[in-house]
Amino acid sequence: MKRRRIFISAGFWIGLSLSLAHPVNSWADAMPAPQLNTGDDVSLIAGDPNHFSAFAQELPETLSRMPAIDPESGLHVSEVKPGLFYVTEGVYQSAFLTTDDGVIVFDAPPSFAHKLLSAIRQHAPGKAIRYLVYSHGHHDHIGGSGVFEDIEELEIVAHEDIAESIAANGRPGILAPTETFDVSHKISFGGELVKLAPASFHSEDVDTIIYLPRQKFLIAVDSITPGEVPFMNFGATSDVGAYIAFFDTILEFDFDTILSGHVSVLGGRDDVIVAREYAHDVRETVSRGMTTFLDRFDVMFQKFNHENANLAYRATIEAVRRECAAEIIDRWKGRLSVVDVWADSHCQTMILHSIMH
């Protein structure tokens, strides 16, 4: 099995050695010793330092928060606040609010949308589904909306940029919005209030903060992952700067529970604060590493005989990334789960951000 961690081919290595009559110290000497388990690849080969068993288990604190998934339905459905339910199959999340006049649904992940209708009917018997709200335009959160196709008088609410994106890139199964907004929007229905505000922390189009003030419940999909460090590249954000600024924005809302669309648990304000601290720590760690970036590049380029600037640049990035990941894993391994899985990715994302900003 080829190891991606060995990023310079053996051919290059041999060629470099042969081309130097008086070789300088190995360029590898200038690089920190490789850190294990920083997520470049995962091996199934026994004895490999990146064997999956060498990665840390989820922390007990994280595991203890996870709800039981009903083996029959494959879902967990629970009433978070009176009339407000959240649904998960363990990876994605959706929610629905029952009102005097019908049901408002938030997102329809394709991974369990086919079960969502029966869950709603079970917990809101006899009530019509009247609204489906899209958090953002990504297929993995709204791609199951087709299951609502035959529901009469259903309003599908989304930001106008999401509607445009769906029209331009729509995949089969995603229902087109019927009610769009620009700056902000309110759904006042059945004695309940849902506020929608555009935001920017993840999607390349627009994100939507969905806020239920009476329930102090906030939906910000693909933002944090309670109990865990963020998914790859800080939740696959399209804008790292906006992602970091988002924590302060969201903490201005008066909420006590946040649904972030992923992992099986709901979060609280503390989860947002910890996620902010983590992102800031990665940013500051990278920032320290980048102070010597150009000097390190010069040393590396020289060791590469001034033959391949791209390779020297990559090697310099790798060195800063490895140091950052080692520090971050050390500081966070007891606080958030799966930091050894994603720290490398977070450090690399932040390095690129730092180079460009």
Judged by DSSP in three states, 15 sits in helix
Helix ranges (H only) for the chain are 10-19, 60-65, 113-123, 139-142, 160-169, 232-236, 240-251, 269-290, 293-303, 309-332, 339-356
Q: Any contact of residue 222 with Zn ion (CB under 5 A)?
A: yes
For residue 235, the minimal CB distance to Zn ion (Å) is: 8
- Residue 329's contacts (CB-CB under 8 Å, 6 or more residues apart) are 35, 37, 38, 339, 340, 343
Q: Which stretch binds Zn ion (CB under 5 A): 108-116, 135-143, 291-299, 301-309?
A: 135-143
Please say which residue, 162 or 326, places its beta carbon nearer to Zn ion.
162
For residue 231, the minimal CB distance to Zn ion (Å) is: 10
Q: Which stretch binds Zn ion (CB under 5 A): 8-16, 88-96, 136-144, 206-214?
A: 136-144
Q: Which stretch binds Zn ion (CB under 5 A): 108-116, 221-229, 276-284, 305-313?
A: 221-229
For residue 78, list its beta bridge partners: 86
Rg (C-alpha) for the chain, rounded Å, is: 24
For residue 27, the minimal CB distance to Zn ion (Å) is: 39
Please say which residue, 40 or 222, places its beta carbon nearer to Zn ion.
222
d(CA 336, CA 229): 6
For residue 340, the minimal CB distance to Zn ion (Å) is: 24
Tokens matching residue 256: 């006590």
> Regarding beta strands 129-133 and 192-199, do their DSSP bridges make them parallel or antiparallel, or are they unpaired?
unpaired
Please say which residue, 138 or 346, places its beta carbon nearer to Zn ion.
138
Please say which residue, 86 or 332, places its beta carbon nearer to Zn ion.
86
Please say which residue, 222 or 323, places its beta carbon nearer to Zn ion.
222
* DSSP conformation letters of 185-251: EEEEETTEEEEEEEE-SS-SS-EEEEEETTTTEEE-TTS--TTBPPSHHHHH-S-HHHHHHHHHHHH
Q: What is the dihedral of CA 249, 252, 257, 261, to 10 degrees?
A: -10
For residue 109, the minimal CB distance to Zn ion (Å) is: 10
Please say which residue, 202 or 322, places its beta carbon nearer to Zn ion.
202
For residue 236, the minimal CB distance to Zn ion (Å) is: 7
Q: Any contact of residue 262 with Zn ion (CB under 5 A)?
A: no
Q: Which stretch binds Zn ion (CB under 5 A): 1-9, 36-44, 215-223, 344-352?
A: 215-223
For residue 202, the minimal CB distance to Zn ion (Å) is: 6
Please say which residue, 8 or 197, places its beta carbon nearer to Zn ion.
197
Half-sphere exposure of 226 (CA within 13 A, CB side): 27
Q: Which stretch binds Zn ion (CB under 5 A): 33-41, 97-105, 130-138, 242-250?
A: 130-138
Residue nearest Zn ion (C-beta atom): 138
For residue 141, the minimal CB distance to Zn ion (Å) is: 6
Long-range (24+ apart) CB contacts under 8 A made by 321-326 are 321/347, 321/348, 321/351, 322/31, 322/32, 322/34, 322/35, 322/38, 323/32, 323/289, 324/282, 324/285, 324/286, 324/289, 324/350, 324/351, 325/35, 325/38, 325/39, 326/32, 326/35, 326/38
d(CA 163, CA 310): 41
Q: How many residues in the shown chain lie near Zn ion by CB under 5 A?
A: 2
Please say which residue, 222 or 344, places its beta carbon nearer to Zn ion.
222
Please say which residue, 222 or 340, places its beta carbon nearer to Zn ion.
222
Q: Which stretch binds Zn ion (CB under 5 A): 83-91, 113-121, 173-181, 220-228?
A: 220-228
- Residue from 138, 185, 322, 353 touching Zn ion (CB under 5 A): that is 138
For residue 116, the minimal CB distance to Zn ion (Å) is: 18
Q: Which residues bind Zn ion (CB under 5 A)?
A: 138, 222
